[in-house]
Structure 1
Amino acid sequence: MSRHLDADPECKRGDGGIDLVIEGRPRDLGGFVVRRVLPSPMRRLVGPFIFFDHMGPVDFAPGEGIGVRPHPHIALATITYLLEGVFVHRDSLGSEQPIRPGDVNWMVAGRGVVHSERTSPEVKASGGRMHGIQTWVALPQKDEEIEPRFEHHPRSTIPIVNLPGAEIHVIAGTAYGAKAPTGVLSPTLYVHARLEADATLQVTDEHEERAVYVVDGSITCGGKTFTEGAMIVLRPGAEVSIRAIEATNVMLVGGAKIDGERHIFWNFVSSSKERLERAKADWREQRFPKIPGDDVEFIPLPE
């Protein structure tokens, strides 16, 4: 377990193009621990990203695995990206989709959707490692109540940009001259960069808000060293480069600043507090749609 996972929640101001450094905070999700990075006490969003969880890495023994029961969302989109492992996404639209390393699952909740994420019985029987990133992006106000949809983009369809010492996978939005197939609804930056030891990467400056998250390994930025679990929020317009001290995986996240304040309760995001109350009542009374084939269990509304 890294020192960031053990540390108390911490946010620090920086320099050298760095606006803020956020350390991931541990959260137990029922058998495995994640690092919760966004929202943080000092920064709720970076671009449209309002939620950022680093899952694992965790090694499951035979008979163990991911078992996230059905739960609802509104007015956001979820992005699931794995570095290791596999599990199955199901939702109330009828989707049933395994996700593997390098694939992208993009689910737009809009007016309301329910989904679950579970390790398949076949994979659970043998156990294995799970490692990935789960994020939510807030939708523009005009799109908060759109029809929900689900997109699966296999690894083979995700653009890869090769730079000296860097392999860049453009997961969503645009970066380094490439555009992802993910159906984003506002300007978005979401990149997985694999860096070789001593490689230097200029952080793309085409987006208004940007941050660098260290998944593993270590980097220098602005004359300081950062290791796994650190999110480095950059100042708008600043020219920033990062250098990998060792082989390192980083995520670049951001995009255009979201249009107005967003409120969060549990798995719900909205620009309207009244809409949150309605969603809470709808889940409490089980008025959300069911997931075909996974309609018995559910996560109760926190009271």
Structure 2
Amino acid sequence: MRAWIGKHPDYADLVTPVVEVVDGQAAQVGTLGVRRVLPRRGRRLVGAWCFADHLGPAEVDPDRSPGVGPHPHCGLATVTWLLEGELLHRDSLGTEQPIRPGQLNLMTAGRGVQHAEEGTGYAGPFEGVQLWVAQPDATRSGPAAFEHHAELPRLDLGAGTGTVLLGAFADAVSPARRDTELVGVELRLHGTADLPLRPDFEYALVGLRGAVELDGVHLGPGQLAYLGAGADELRVRVPERGRALLLGGVPFAEEVLMFWNFVGRDRAELAEAARAWNAGDDRFGRLGSPLPRFVAPPAPWPA
């Protein structure tokens, strides 16, 4: 992809086309290899987006499922989007929801929830993205919730399509809950498309499939290009078919600290969440699963 960023006069001092390209860090989630593009050193947030894993691609079967056993969250919302394969989401709210390509699972943790992502017996190619959104003070201590959206708005971009996962893009609005002003769009492109941007948003583009080129900078699958704020248009050219994820949002003004699967505001808050989880506190509800339950690791800071 080749991109051109149109400057909005009211935000011209904020425009920095392709501020940085971040290589995804290899990690292991259950049996599945992932590339973690957010958070990374020097780039912790894009709007309220605070975590992004590119899952796979991999071949899976019932004996080698991409599932992950029970584990907790607080202070964030998880966004699951598959390109190929399927999973079964189960959580302490009583949810049992399969997810397949083109469908969205959104779990809002609030003060606390636990979930597992289990195999379904599916065999074949598997690939997807797992995203987290930091919750603001207004909702992060509230009750947990879950949403499944089997259909999402899809835009004709001329050179392909854009599926709006969260937020509003052009004249399409996702039905999914959002606690801050943000947007997430999966792009499937082949050719040149002009993408409308909000100049008060900062943006990043995550490469999923195919070669991506931004103003002469090459972006591959499992890499993130931070585009900054202040632009009102992004011109994208894709010589061959490619897929990417556009993430954006109003810069998140609140302090954010992350530890393991928790998002909070200070170390004491995060340490208490880990203690409560390891103690089996009711804060995170109850969930039975055939997969092993995770244990919170020791905090990485001095006691």
Could you tell me the TM-score, scaled by structure 2's length?
0.88
Deviations for 1:142-200, whole angstroms, at most 9, x for unmatched residues? 2110110000000x2x001102112010000111121100110111110001001x333
- Show the counterpart of 2:181: 187
Q: How many residues align?
A: 282
- Structure 2 CA distance for aligned equivalents of residues 114 and 215 of structure 1: 28
Counterpart position of 1:257: 251
RCO higher in structure (CA 8 A, sep ≥6): 2
Question: Per-residue displacement from partner, 1:36-74 (whole Å, max 9, x unpaired)?
Answer: 000001100001010000001110145221220000000
Alignment partner of 2:146 out of 145, 150, 156: 150
Distance in 1 between residues matched to 2:162 and 2:200, nearest whole Å: 16
Amino acid at match of 1:33: G
Give, as a single letter, the amino acid of the residue that structure 1 aligns with 2:263: V
Alpha-carbon deviations, 1:72-128, whole Å to 9, x = none? 0001000000010001000000000000001000110001000000112x32xxx22
* Conserved? CA contact 1:203–1:242, under 8 Å: no
Query: Which residue of structure 2 lines up, in the alignment, with residue 3 of structure 1?
Result: none
Partner of 1:202: 195
Question: Letter of the aligned partner of 1:235 in structure 2?
Answer: G
Query: How far is 1:16 from its partner?
Result: 6.5
Letter aligned with residue 98 of structure 1? P
Match of 2:215 among 219, 222, 229: 222
The match for 2:225 is 232
2:130 paired with 1:134? yes
**Going by fraction, where is strand more abundant, 1 or 2?**
2
Structure 2 CA distance for partners of 1:16 and 1:74, relative to 1, 3 Å: closer
2:157 — aligned with what?
163
Amino acid at match of 1:135: L
What is the CA–CA distance in structure 1 between the aligned matches of 2:193 and 2:217, rounded to whole Å?
14
Q: Greater CA deviation, 38-47 or 289-298?
A: 289-298
- Counterpart mapping for 1:23-172 below 5 A: 23-120=23-120, 122-123=121-122, 127-154=123-150, 156=151, 158-172=152-166
* Cα distance in 2 between the residues matched to 1:21 and 1:244: 18
Quick one: structure 1 residues 166 and 204, their matched pair in 2 at CA, closer, same or farther if it must change by over 3 Å?
Answer: farther
* C-alpha deviation, 1:293, in angstroms: 4.0
Segments of structure 1 that go 5 or more residues without pairing to the other structure are 1-14
Q: Does 1:280 align with 2:274?
A: yes
Q: 3-state SS of the aligned residue for 2:213?
A: strand
